[in-house]
Amino acid sequence: MKKICILFVAIPFLSFSQTKKKAEIPADKGFTITGNVTGFADGTSVSFLNDQTGQPEKQTTIEKGKFVIKGEMPQPYFKVLIFNDQPPAVPIFLDNSNIKIKGDKNALDQLSITGSPSHDQYMEYTNALKPYEKIFGDNAVYDSDATNAVKKISTDFVKKHPGSYVAPLAIIRLIQVSEDGAKTEELYKLMNAPVQQSALGQYANQQIQLSKINPIGSVVKDFSQNDTAGNPVKISSFRGKYVLLDFWASWCRPCRMENPNVVAAYNKFHDKNFTILSVSLDQAKPSWIDAIKMDGLNWNHVSDLKGWNNEVAALFHITQIPQNLLIDPDGKIIAKNLRGPVLENKLNQIFK
């Protein structure tokens, strides 16, 4: 089934499926988490969040501020610990170690977690990224200096820890900020084979392969498709302008939710050599036109009304929406999937 939403990876909250493999660490050396967290009432549940559903899975309860969780990890892996089935969640990069957690209910973000080499590496990486968190998330701010810093931190981490199961997180972040599949793949190949084959490693590779589609710096492929009046429109007719090539559909809820951000960007920059060409994956023309009017999308629109079989979408290998490509006056792709404040921030950077 085609996906209609882009997956955003947010550290520390991840939701990858864990590949079931034969244990790489002897079975008699599983993990033991010994907790001493004050402030919770006796009987308070301590749970891991399910990797797939995000729902709490009770592991034990707190008695006199203490709890113990025992188990075994086939390989080091990201886990999220939660108390009393309520946020805030506590990220742990868990391996088969004796782990101690100390702290207080009122400062769960400051818990001391010791004893796990993998978690130490995780904290090394995430602490290094903290000054640059503003470039990630729904309210991301475009900052070239921060982007370059994240690239360096991520690259250095993988080179320093090629055998770490945390390294794929650095690869994922690097893809997010660079969209450079070829260079990131070179770095990915430096990781040890078991790390590449891990659940996070496989996901990182998937993101690398996706980033190779419509790569940054490539000249956009020319096409012609009819607008709402039945007149053909060529992407090459917009040469000399910055163009946001936007893939959407009237039935796509995430697309419709994003449209106000696109409208705001268009209204702010359309008189500064910027325009938008939207390609709709609709099938019903009335629904397509009604959505354009309802959302106030006052720019060029095209569609062949073939839904997911839209020929332009196929040309650009679009398998999920919303998606967009930012094209410079020479027809080169300079950015991809700019949404929310990130789109406006990028255009601000261009037009200063």
> DSSP letters along 39-62, please?
TPPTT-EEEEEPTTT--EEEEEE-
Distance (Å, rounded) from C-alpha 351 to C-alpha 288? 31
Q: Which long-range contacts (CB under 8 A, 24 or more apart) does 49-54 make?
A: 49/79, 49/80, 49/81, 49/82, 49/89, 51/15, 51/16, 51/17, 51/18, 52/15, 52/17, 54/15
Report which secondary-structure segment, H or E, holds 91.
strand 86-94
pLDDT given for residue 189 in this prediction? 96
pLDDT given for residue 138 in this prediction? 58
* 130, 138, 203 from 12: Cα distances, Å: 12, 15, 15
CB 11 within 8 A of CB 169: yes
What tokens were used for 187?
């770095």
Distance (Å, rounded) from C-alpha 302 to C-alpha 289? 11
Distance (Å, rounded) from C-alpha 120 to C-alpha 244? 42
Torsion, CA 137, CA 141, CA 147, CA 149, rounded to 10: -90
User: What angle (nearest 5°) sits at the alpha carbon of residue 249, between those of residues 248 and 252?
Assistant: 95
pTM: 0.72
pLDDT given for residue 180 in this prediction? 80
CB 151 within 8 A of CB 129: no
What tokens were used for 189?
């190949």
pLDDT given for residue 183 in this prediction? 86
What's the length of the chain? 352
Distance (Å, rounded) from C-alpha 305 to C-alpha 240? 28
Instruction: Please tell me whether the peptide bond between 232 and the residue prior to it is cis, using omega within 30 degrees of 0.
Output: no
What is the 3-state composition of the chain as percent helix, strand, coil, each rounded to the nearest 5? 35, 25, 40
pLDDT given for residue 3 in this prediction? 29
Distance (Å, rounded) from C-alpha 303 to C-alpha 278? 8
pLDDT given for residue 135 in this prediction? 80
Q: Which domains does the chain have, with CATH numbers?
A: 31-116 (2.60.40), 127-211 (no CATH), 224-351 (3.40.30.10)
Q: Which stretches in the chain have pLDDT values below 70?
A: 1-28, 137-140
CB 279 within 8 A of CB 234: no
pLDDT in tens, 165-211: 999 999 999 998 887 888 899 999 999 999 999 999 999 999 899 88
- CA-wise closest residue to 304 among 324, 279, 275, 339: 279
pLDDT in tens, 236-282: 999 999 999 999 999 999 999 999 999 999 999 999 999 999 999 99
Mode of pairing for the β-strands spanning 45-49 and 77-83: antiparallel
